[in-house]
Amino acid sequence: MTKTNKIALAALVFALASTGFAQEAAAPATTAVNSNGGLIAVGAGLALGLGAIGTGLAQGRIGAAAAGVTAENPGRLGLMLLWFAIPETLVIFGLVGFFILSGKI
């Protein structure tokens, strides 16, 4: 196991263990309470977070390839910038999903 994997595993264990110490929920108010609010927040966070991680991974590889292509043929810089910008749509879709799940739209 690499050092990075050990750190990630330890962070996951601490994150999951800390839920055992969570504060008890307050008494429900007289109005209707959405019992799925926490799950909606987790889903909204995952929609934005995983989209951003995927975009970062994709742009890292595309950026490296674009730098190589541009070094060999500077005339293709515009096309490479277009290919570099395409993964950003994933973050935009994640952001839209975040706002839809948060109830802002």
Distance CA 46, CA 60 (A): 21
Residue pLDDT, tens place only, 43-85 = 888 888 988 998 999 999 999 999 999 999 999 999 999 998 8
Contact 45, 97 (CB under 8 A): no
In terms of residue numbers, what domain contains 99? 37-105
Identify which has the larger pLDDT, 99 or 37.
Answer: 99
For the chain, the domain total comes to 1
pTM for this predicted structure: 0.56
Q: Could you give the percent of the chain with pLDDT greater than 70?
A: 75
Contact 102, 59 (CB under 8 A): no
Q: Say what the pLDDT of residue 31 is.
A: 54
- CATH code at 56? 1.20.20.10
Distance CA 89, CA 82 (A): 12
In a domain, 1, yes or no: no
